[in-house]
Amino acid sequence: MKSSSNKCTAPSESQSAQHQLLVSEDDRISNGGVKRYLQDPLKNIFTCSEAWFNLAFGTAMNPFYHLGSLAFFFLWIVLVSGIYLYIFFETGLHVSYQSIEYLTHEQWYLGGIMRSLHRYASDAALIVVVVHILREYALDRFRGFRWFSWVTGMVPLWLMVMLGITGYWLVWDQVAQYVALGSAKLLDVLPLIGGGMARNFLGENINDRFFTLMILLHIVGGPMGLIFALWIHVKRISNVSPMGPVGLALGSFLALLALSLIKPVVSHAPADMLSVPVELDIDWFYLNIFPLLRYWSAEAVWALIFGVTFLLLLLPWLPWRKTPAAATVQLDRCNGCGQCLEDCPYDAVSIRARSDGARWQNEAVVNPQLCASCGICIGSCPSSNPFRRVDEQLTTGIDLPDIPVHGMHAAVKSALSAVDGSVKILVYGCRHGVDVTAIDAPGVVTITLPCTGMLPSGFVDYALKKGADGVIISGCRSFDCHYRFGNQWVEQRLRRERTPSLRKKTDRKRIECCWAADMDSAKLLEEVDLFYQRLLSDKRKADEG
């Protein structure tokens, strides 16, 4: 997107009347070579892949748009299947392997399926989490106000890996033996544990107490820690889905079930600490660090683990992205309706008892530490009504200091007064979607917003009343809004399913939505051309009639 000044301004010599950018100073700071050679290629891969998945699954069911929810869903499967397995699991050096074998072979019709679901859902959860991290990085959704979610997301990742490793220990087959020996090497070099301590529960000294420890780690402490870490991770976001769309969750479960039936999980031979396994089929998702111990020292492996973790934790500040000024509440226009609370994607708005003695009972309050400055709350406020009579300038109950609603009001009037042609179209664009300033067509003017969720439905009707023959609203792809829900809230307002909604007498045929990523410019240009031709045809028919 093109950069602009830090304040909402009228057109000038450097900012044509055809294209007005109501955005704050561009906070997407370039990472130089890292952005060019890593972030941008990853972004292109995801954007292109998601386009194909949209064709295959539809935008509402595209798994790339629900990675976080899918991770939760897979962990639910792990939890339920794990509880069932624990009912039949016998804790002890000489009985744990036999109890798993009983479930796998004697009770294959349920216990074996549960074991396979437990394994495959665990793998799927880790894969989804890693893809989620890569995607957030590629789309630059990890810096600025998002730093908290990024940093706290590293803790569940660590805990998931720890739970996966301890789960393999409990089977006590040759893979468990391999993991135990590798873990001993890693633990030996830690200062707080020491070489002798790790060996105390391996070799001839291992006993039933070892399995009691693993039960505590894998079934009690680990899951409780993971649940708490996940709660912290999503604490700053609202409307969190624990499983995503029902159809996607059901399809994912059926896929795991089919895999469990086609390729059931089985154990290797029982562990024998007096022999060395020759050939093993390990889980590369959870046990990927252990083969490194064959070539690297334990110190080098720890250096890699902590180095990667430290780099991931540091990424939001390489470089830091400054979040624009937070939204502010104008009490003289706030009636405490709470719609901004309902629509805020990051739980930055709360409602409290009125503090100014007005006739309204409640008022909205914004937490600046949580505010993303997306402007969605402006589109939610019933006071953001351009038809309201004002003495000087339009004010609303909640507003952005850098991009006030009166600036949007002035920009719409200015754009419509400058456009000329047989058909006049106003395009509201999003800075994170297609760059609408690239549209060079007669009769088309554009206004770029931080998020199209900022657009009050009244401004669509206002544009039609003030001379526009049609309005196009463009933004991120459906279900992939940069601010989570912006495009969904806009569509619901236009369909009169969400307040403040579009007026009933407004001609919905003169309004189009085109949700497209920044690589989908051809799609938007085609949509503008088709919309223009349809409006022109309708206008000619009306003139002839």
Give the 3-state secondary structure of residue 361.
coil
| Higher per-residue pLDDT: 275 or 11 | 275
Residue 117 lies in a domain: yes
Please report, to the nearest 10 degrees, the dihedral formed by the alpha carbons of residues 226, 227, 233, 238 taken in order: 160
Same domain as 421, residue 305: no
Q: Which of 299, 317, 335 is the last residue of a domain?
A: 317
- Of the candidates 518, 432, 482, 499, the residue with the CA atom closest to the CA atom of residue 65: 482
Average pLDDT over residues 404-424: 90
Mean pLDDT of the chain: 89
148-165 pLDDT tens trace: 999 999 999 999 999 999
Same domain as 61, residue 154: yes
Strands, DSSP E only, in 45-155?
none
Pick from 110-114, 389-393, 504-508: least confident:
389-393
Contact present, 528 and 425 (Cβ < 8 Å): yes
Name beta bridge partners: 364: 351
For residue 319, say if its preceding peptide bond is cis, omega within 30 degrees of 0: yes
User: Between β-strands 328-329 and 398-399, what pairing exists: parallel, antiparallel or unpaired?
Assistant: antiparallel
Same domain as 239, residue 163: yes
The encoded tokens of residue 440 equal 């060079």
Same domain as 304, residue 161: yes
pLDDT > 90? residue 10? no
Whole-number Cα distances in Å, 134 to 140, 144, 157, 323: 10, 17, 13, 22
- Of the candidates 299, 321, 298, 302, the residue with the CA atom closest to the CA atom of residue 310: 302
380-411 pLDDT tens trace: 999 998 987 765 688 899 999 999 999 999 99
Number of domains in the chain: 2
Give the 3-state secondary structure of residue 484.
strand
Same domain as 189, residue 91: yes
Same domain as 306, residue 395: no
235-287 pLDDT tens trace: 999 989 888 899 999 999 999 999 999 999 999 999 887 777 778 899 999 99
- Parent domain of 481: 19-24+384-544
Residue 187 lies in a domain: yes
Residue 345 lies in a domain: no
Instruction: For residue 428, give the CATH number of its domain.
Output: 3.40.50
Beta carbons within 10 angstroms of residue 229's beta carbon: 18
63-107 pLDDT tens trace: 999 999 999 999 999 999 999 999 999 887 788 999 999 999 999
Q: What is the pLDDT of residue 203?
A: 53
Same domain as 419, residue 297: no
Residue 369 lies in a domain: no
Read off the pLDDT band of 27 (50, 70, 90): very low
Give the 3-state secondary structure of residue 429.
strand
Q: Cα–Cα distance between 440 and 16 in angstroms, integer?
A: 12
Residue 337 lies in a domain: no
User: Between β-strands 444-449 and 425-430, what pairing exists: parallel, antiparallel or unpaired?
Assistant: parallel
**Torsion angles phi and psi, residue 101, rounded to 5:** -65, -40
Proportion of the chain above pLDDT 90, given as a percent: 71
End-to-end CA distance of the chain: 43
Q: What is the pLDDT of residue 420?
A: 85
Instruction: For residue 266, give the CATH number of its domain.
Output: 1.20.810.10
Residue 526 lies in a domain: yes
pLDDT > 80? residue 201? no
pTM: 0.90
- Of the candidates 162, 340, 153, the residue with the CA atom closest to the CA atom of residue 234: 153
Residue 419 lies in a domain: yes
Same domain as 258, residue 393: no
Same domain as 445, residue 305: no
Q: What is the pLDDT of residue 312?
A: 96
pLDDT > 80? residue 356? yes
Contact present, 17 and 413 (Cβ < 8 Å): no
Residue 50 lies in a domain: yes
Same domain as 404, residue 304: no
Same domain as 211, residue 92: yes
